[in-house]
Amino acid sequence: MKELVEVFFKTESVVNHQIESMNHFVATKDNTDNLMQMIVDETRVSDDDEPGVIVLDPSKTGGKDIRIYFGRPRDKGVPFGAPTIWVESPEIKEASGASNQITPHEARMRDLNYTAPIMIKLRVVEDGREKDPETIKIGDMPVMVRSKVCTLSGNKLDSYIEKNNGPINATRKEKLQYIGEDPDDSGGYFIISGSERVIVSLEDLAPNKILVEFEEKYDTKVEVAKVFSQTGGYRALTSLEKSSEGIINVSIPSVAGTVPLVILMKALGMEKDNEIHESIFSRNEMDPIIYANLEDSRNPKIFPPNGVITGADAIAYLEKRFAAGQAKEFREKKVSQMLDKSLLPHLGDKPEDRFKKALYLGRMSRSLLELNLGIRKEDDKDHLANKRIKLAGDLLDELFRNAFQAVIKDLKYQLERTFNRKKGIKLKPAVRQDLLTQKLQHSMSTGNWIGGRTGVSQLLDRVSNVSTLSHLRRIISPLTRSQPHFEARDLHPTQWGRICPNETPEGQNCGLVKNAALLINVSEGIDSTKILEFLRGMGLKELTKEDPNTGRVYLNGDFVGYHDDPAELTKNVRGSRRSGQISDEVNIRYDEATREVIINCDRGRIRRPLLIAENGNVKITKVQLEKLRLGEITIKDLVKQGAMEWIDSEEEENLFIAIYAYDLPKECPRCHSQLYRGVVDWTNPGEEVIELLCERCGGRFPSESLLTNEHTHLEIDPALILGVVASMIPYPEHNSSPRVTMAAAMTKQSIGLSSTNFRIRTDTRGHYMDYPQKPLVKTQVMDYIKYDKKPAGQNFVVAIMSYQGYNIQDAIVFNKAAVERGLGRSSFFRTYTAEERRYPGGQEDRFEIPTHEVLGARAEEYYKNLDENGVIFPESYVEGSDVLVGKTSPPRFLEEGGEKLGPQRRRESSITMRPNEKGYVDNVILTVSESNSRIVKIRVRSPRIPELGDKFASRHGQKGVIGSVVAQEDMPFTEEGIIPDIIINPHAIPSRMTIGHILEMIGGKVATMRGSIIDGTIFKGEPEKSLREDLVKYGFRYDSTESMYDGITGKKLKADIFTGVIYYQKLHHMVAGKFHARSRGPVQILTRQPTEGRSRQGGLRFGEMERDTLIAHGAAMVIKDRLLDQSDGTILYICGNPKCGAHCHNGQEKGYLQVSSVWKYWKYTCCGNQLCFQTYER
């Protein structure tokens, strides 16, 4: 089903789930059902106020009743009508006051925030009279690149180009190139202060879902039922725990200690014991525990004076327990807050919702007792059905909710403070725009989120195009990396097709940082009330009493009723979904063991696409696939037509999925070539007899179906289980699993072409390969992510043999002539930025060549490459400490710069090269910042030619550094005169079991002779037998070995050498970026010890073990030299009198030494010794 995957990636972005999430969140005039509008409609100024309205205090408004409505009007509690909040196009307010629409490229270049204004419509009602509504800007929203608010989307791009007199009739690709964008950039990130930042998806436990498990407490297993109750932005954990005596206690958030279940249920309005019994009971075996709890609550010894019998008794017990000794009014308020606000907030926060909460607690207890009796299994926290993913839109939802609440509270305060009887209220001056903007931008720029989470927003990884895509599809777990959490790190069966099994870091983050599989969708969520109405029409009953003949129905984790035939209900709901009667966001599962129907339509579920199969055949047809290929229908149409559906991990528990629809013969009946799934096409899906097409010869032949009547679905393609990075690896199924994980990690470090507009980008640092090549052995996924346009590697001719010990321990021997021809050559770019800052008092920095009058000015030769404005010429050669931008600044302090009364001397503050780098000035960009001060960006290009110690790796986890660069005439050569580019060690292969590496070498060799690309896609790549037969066909040996001759002696080597062509990647770990040495240099002021780190020209730590080696050798003077002279040796003056020995330092009077001793005598008077002072090194 190659067509399906191709169409999906043609119409959707690889990071589509992030962009869709942002589009669902952000408010626009054409979409009223967005998350921002919902937040505005739900926001209350305080807990007692109505949502969506500010009511000013009459005592501060002269007795007037003034209401400001910011939410939509409500009908029966449901908001309706036109939106009251929306986000406009991204713009920047210049220092001149003008507002201009901006592009992502301009934001990067000028170090701006890529944001769009948030507008809100406010209606003022004064003493019942409504005034004209006002539209006011309340702040700026960070804009995701390529989302619907972005300048690059649809009509916004056209209007921008029209305003700037650009090519209106050009293609979309040409328009993007005109405004400096990479046409193939995926988007999905934000730009804050010129830096690209990504909001990484978070994995969390599902809210409002009862989870039961055993917990270890004092070496005994305790049954616990938990629910993370969530409503709006508030999340609270309520848990039930059964003690060894059978008593069930409830822990309520924001309240210390636990409350007995029965007492809490009575306080919530379920006063009768038989009601409590019925809400919990499902099996006779439960009776002893239920009765024990009921009797316990009536026991006057435990709950004096008369036990807890009525609801009033229960309330009195809670008041006494949690607000003892307080006033009656306070006690009542405390208990009502506990029951209405803290306990299970997702069920409501009003007193009339209490009975519903009592029923819910009964159901939680039932699940707990079912676990105790062995009827129900422990819930698996690592099952993806119990997890939800928070994407960029969901995380911004949390941030915006908090910031908007602050804006509304501040608005009320400002209006009450500035109220004037004559002028009335002025809305525009009362809104502080910076409040919302600062809250959003602070979190975006630091990564510190609501709830104390850190690292949510991260700098986008731009090392290579693949690493960028991987970063945008990353999913992180909130678990701490310092603890074991073995189960959480393990690969879970439900992650099949949803999370990549191989792409995860090695080390402490292993299994906690994950990456999405290739084809996924994250549910956006729909209104559950519509689904509930639909279920009632399907025969859902609302009963308070348990009936053993019916099945329970759960919607988004909440119990909604019973059904007489749960299996039939499940079948009907699926049928309605496939026919388009209800949303395809709905997923349903029937659990035969507990007769429960579990329905989900909430957001954050990872879903994957599957083809529907019935009666041993798929529902999709040849006609549908043809229309899909021609663009007449989309993937969404296929879902509506019931041919394909998105399945979450909960529903997948019910399914029987076929991996393949048909079996393959070993060779084509017509052309007798080796057959594999990559060259065979299924021509007639949906028909009884399967017909296959050989793409090599065009021959058609029948095949045996693997689908049976039991199969419910068919995989679109098993290759979709991998993520973007692991899909780059050819033949991964032939490698040891840890090597694939290593290969995925190193692919993200490979240097290539990260973006096609790199010439005009101003990234702080970046590596680019000079001559990147397309790989000869490819995977189909490379076409989907356009890897050929941005490759990251080169095809090397490789021989596997040892070479005089220079390739021992994974080292690589390089051919010097190949390096001189451009093999592995790359460039490193670093951008230096200078700005003419303005200071208080009207002073500012200036770009100029500093004169000798300037404090700290350098010698003239340092400024030789600068023009008259103090800016360096392009293509100048620069090295360590050379000046790139001449700049002078005003003095820091009044006394700085000579005489107090004379003119103040400016100080030198030029931008210089890093001390250990050299290169050529590639680009000089002059622009202005938001505050209209000049900015210069100097881009320096450093050529990086492969040298000893540079790291290279194949796509199979075979990494190594260059051990020797050998002259071509000294390298071994084949009978045909082929000299390998590199030689790798034979020991690298057997123990690591990277057979994929060997297959790729053979494949690359065949590709060079055949003149076509070899397919190495997982599960359907060209098989080994086919490749080896082609080797023979082109005159090579079947085993790909060749006779080779020693380049130095000319003698034939005794062993046959395995050779081939393989794609190697240059990694960004290079000697030029790590090499560091120093003798004496800068020291810290406080300790006088050498500074730390290469960037500060720091010292090299000569540690305890290194010291031990010199002691073992008896090299005393070397130790002294290392630990004193070259580290923190300093000279002290000591009084020469043997009886004194006081420590001296420079005195205030010239020519004297001041002595510090206990008695603090001055000059030479410490002991009367006047002449003899000795120096000591310390």
| pLDDT score of 1160 | 37
Q: How far apart are CA 1084 and CA 1096, in angstroms?
A: 11
Banded pLDDT at 33 (limits 50, 70, 90): confident
Q: In the numeric block, which tokens belong to residue 1059? A: 């050779």
pTM of the model: 0.93
Q: Measured in whole angstroms, how far is the alpha carbon of residue 450 from the centre of its chain?
A: 16
Q: In the numeric block, which tokens belong to residue 102? A: 């901006």
**What length is written for the chain?**
1178
Structural domain boundaries, residue 1146: 1131-1177
The helix or strand, by DSSP H or E, that contains position 1026, with its residue range, turns out to be helix 1024-1033
Catalytic residues: 810
Residue 557 CB partners (closer than 8 Å, separation 6+)? 206, 207, 208, 209, 210, 227, 600
Quick: pLDDT tens for 272-306. 999 899 889 888 999 999 999 999 999 998 988 88
| pLDDT score of 1159 | 35
Q: Measured in whole angstroms, how far is the alpha carbon of residue 250 from the centre of its chain?
A: 36
Q: Are 187 and 13 in contact (CB under 8 A)?
A: yes
**Other Cβ atoms closer than 10 A to 698:** 9
Q: Are 747 and 1065 in contact (CB under 8 A)?
A: yes
Q: Are 912 and 881 in contact (CB under 8 A)?
A: yes
Q: Domain boundary residue among 881, 910, 944? A: 944
**Bridge partner residues of 515 (DSSP):** 474
Instruction: Compute the C-alpha angle 66/70/73, nearest 5°.
Output: 95
pLDDT value at 1151 more than 50: no
Q: Are 830 and 979 in contact (CB under 8 A)?
A: no
Tally the C-alpha atoms within 13 A of residue 273's C-alpha that lie toward its C-beta. 12
Same domain, 849 and 799: no
Q: Are 937 and 886 in contact (CB under 8 A)?
A: no
Same domain, 846 and 987: no
Min mean pLDDT across 108-112, 668-672, 1121-1125 is at 1121-1125
| pLDDT score of 273 | 92
Residue 492 in any domain: the answer is no
Peptide bond into 117 cis (omega under 30): no
| pLDDT score of 1088 | 84
pLDDT value at 1164 more than 50: no
Residue 16 in any domain: the answer is no
Quick: pLDDT tens for 80-138. 899 999 999 999 998 888 899 999 999 999 999 999 999 999 999 998 899 899 999 99
| pLDDT score of 1154 | 47
Question: Alpha carbon of 288 to those of 261, 277, 283, 1114: distances in Å?
Answer: 15, 11, 11, 81
Residue 1013 in any domain: the answer is yes
Please state the φ and ψ torsions of residue 1002, each to the nearest 5 degrees.
Answer: -65, -45
Q: What is residue 424's DSSP assignment? A: B
Domain count, the chain: 7
Q: In the numeric block, which tokens belong to residue 1124? A: 């004193």
Quick: pLDDT tens for 881-925. 899 999 999 988 765 555 555 567 899 999 999 988 999 999 999
| pLDDT score of 1174 | 59
pLDDT value at 1167 more than 70: no
Quick: pLDDT tens for 170-207. 999 999 999 999 999 999 999 999 999 999 999 999 99
Highest mean pLDDT among 55-69, 205-219, 1027-1041: 1027-1041
515-537 average pLDDT score: 94
Same domain, 1005 and 1103: no
Same domain, 1080 and 1057: no
Q: How far apart are CA 885 and CA 849, in angstroms?
A: 8
Same domain, 98 and 224: no
| pLDDT score of 901 | 55
Residue 290 in any domain: the answer is yes
Q: In the numeric block, which tokens belong to residue 619? A: 């529902």
Quick: pLDDT tens for 826-855. 999 999 999 999 998 889 999 999 999 999
Q: In the numeric block, which tokens belong to residue 639? A: 């879902």
Q: Are 1095 and 1078 in contact (CB under 8 A)?
A: no
Same domain, 1010 and 910: no
Same domain, 910 and 953: no
802-825 average pLDDT score: 96
Q: Are 564 and 549 in contact (CB under 8 A)?
A: yes
| pLDDT score of 1152 | 46
Q: What is residue 499's DSSP assignment? A: B
Q: Domain boundary residue among 585, 601, 617? A: 601
**Which domain CATH number covers 1088?**
3.90.1800.10
Highest mean pLDDT among 122-131, 254-263, 519-528, 997-1006: 997-1006
Quick: pLDDT tens for 1044-1095. 999 999 999 999 999 999 999 999 999 999 999 888 888 898 888 889 998 8
- What are the DSSP calls for 513-538, one per residue? EEEBBSS-EE-----HHHHHHHHHHT
Mean pLDDT over each residue of the chain, to the nearest integer: 91
Sequence-distant contacts of 421-428: CB under 8 A, at least 24 apart: 421/62, 424/126, 425/56, 425/61, 425/66, 425/124, 427/68, 427/122, 427/124, 427/134, 427/136, 428/134, 428/136
Residue 417 in any domain: the answer is yes
**Which domain CATH number covers 571?**
3.90.1070.20
- The single residue listed with the structure tokens 């939680």 is 364
Among candidates 697, 966, 1034, 689, which has minimal Cα distance to 819?
966
Q: In the numeric block, which tokens belong to residue 683? A: 């021509």
Instruction: Compute the C-alpha angle 139/145/151, nearest 5°.
Output: 75
**Percent of the chain topping pLDDT 70:** 96
Q: Which residue has the higher pLDDT, 548 or 1026?
A: 1026
Same domain, 345 and 373: yes
Please state the φ and ψ torsions of residue 343, each to the nearest 5 degrees.
Answer: -85, 120
Q: What is residue 641's DSSP assignment? A: T
Q: Are 567 and 596 in contact (CB under 8 A)?
A: no
Residue 519 in any domain: the answer is no
pLDDT value at 544 more than 70: no
Same domain, 849 and 965: no
Q: What is the β-pairing status of strands 85-87 and 248-251? A: unpaired
- What are the DSSP calls for 775-794, one per residue? -SEE-HHHHHTTGGGS---E
Same domain, 175 and 186: yes
Same domain, 806 and 953: yes
Q: Domain boundary residue among 944, 959, 984? A: 944
- What are the DSSP calls for 694-746, one per residue? ETTT--EEEE-B---TT--EEES-GGGGSBTTGGGSSSGGGS-HHHHHHHHHH
Quick: pLDDT tens for 559-577. 888 999 999 999 999 999 9
Q: Are 903 and 851 in contact (CB under 8 A)?
A: no
Q: Are 601 and 556 in contact (CB under 8 A)?
A: yes
Instruction: Compute the C-alpha angle 623/628/630, nearest 5°.
Output: 95
Q: In the numeric block, which tokens belong to residue 411? A: 């608005």
- The single residue listed with the structure tokens 């007795």 is 63
| pLDDT score of 61 | 86
Q: Are 1066 and 769 in contact (CB under 8 A)?
A: yes
Same domain, 864 and 806: no
Give the gyration radius of the chain's Cα atoms. 37
**Which domain CATH number covers 304?**
3.90.1110.10
| pLDDT score of 412 | 93
**Other Cβ atoms closer than 10 A to 59:** 8
pLDDT value at 1158 more than 50: no
**Which domain CATH number covers 813?**
2.40.270.10
Residue 624 in any domain: the answer is no
Banded pLDDT at 1169 (limits 50, 70, 90): low
Residue 455 in any domain: the answer is no
